[in-house]
Amino acid sequence: MSPIFIAGPCVIESQDVLDTVAAELVRLRQELGITIYFKASFDKANRTSLASYRGPGLERGLQMLADVKASHGLPVLTDIHESHQAAPAAQVADVLQIPAFLCRQTDLLVAAAKTGRTVNIKKAQFLSGADMQYPVEKCAAAGAADIWLTERGNTFGYNNLVVDFRNLPAMARFTRRVVMDCTHCVQRPGAAGGKTGGDREFIPAMALAAKAFGANGFFFETHPDPDRALSDGPNMLPLGELESVIRTLL
């Protein structure tokens, strides 16, 4: 299968950031001839601290994503945290993403599957690739025709993750589309004093290793200025570096 790319800011911050990132994705799509999805979250319900920025919320956030879709012509991926968000999010998003911590939540999986949209299930930090058979079965039984699985690393002691790349071919037994989340896998969860840290310098190598293990989708959270981002800045790829990483993968 031809590779796909998923890219965008972690959370919706402003229309200006969305449009800046979307315009660059459109340019890369035209120049490189790639399939690329715009990703941003309307609500980050699993932030480390109560004081952390979560996003504009469901109604306003979906309207902002709809504006990006209409203005730039990009397919959209966004994540949902509760079952009631599935139907309204599916009115805008082409792909509904299940966060890693929630990938065993049956009602959430079923609600996403019933929308008829593609469902991207992120593998939990506490599961193996083989364990993802069961979330896939839940979605398939609920009618999902297109199910993706995404690797994002496993918990390795406290405040750290490690990637077992064998999970990629393991998950490929259950779906034709296996995605590597090249940015969340370099997180250091909760390691920055109530915030999540990260080691963004390892993102390009993680992407190449995933390709060697058979990944056919690549997920990058990206931002024009990650050091000023309102969520996940330490593990986001600077927008200006996205092209070179994608070219290497191609």
Q: How far apart are the C-alpha atoms of 240 and 233, rounded to whole Å? A: 14
Res 173: pLDDT: 98
Res 195: pLDDT: 56
Give the architecture-level CATH label for domain 4-249: Alpha-Beta Barrel (3.20)
DSSP-assigned states of every residue in 103-164: TT-HHHHHHHHHTTSEEEEEPPTT--TGGGHHHHHHHHHTT-S-EEEEE--EE-SSS-EE--
Residue 113, number of CB atoms within 10 A of its CB: 23
Question: What average pLDDT is seen over the chain?
Answer: 94
Beta-bridged to residue 11, according to DSSP, are 41
pTM comes to 0.94
Is the pLDDT assigned to residue 78 strictly greater than 70?
Answer: yes
Give the tens place of pLDDT for each residue, 207-222.
999 999 999 999 999 9
Q: Where are the domains of the chain?
A: 4-249
- How wide is the angle at C-alpha 96 spanned by C-alphas 4 and 76, nearest 5°? 55
Band of pLDDT at residue 47, cut at 50, 70 and 90: low
Give the tens place of pLDDT for each residue, 123-148.
999 999 999 999 999 999 999 999 99
Residue among 67, 25, 61 at smallest CA distance from 40:
61
Residues 6 or more apart from 124 whose CB is under 8 A from it? 100, 101, 103, 104, 131
Band of pLDDT at residue 56, cut at 50, 70 and 90: very high
Give the tens place of pLDDT for each residue, 165-194.
999 999 999 999 999 999 999 988 765 555
- Token output for 157: 């002691």
For residues 145-171, give the mean pLDDT: 95
Band of pLDDT at residue 197, cut at 50, 70 and 90: confident
Res 98: pLDDT: 98
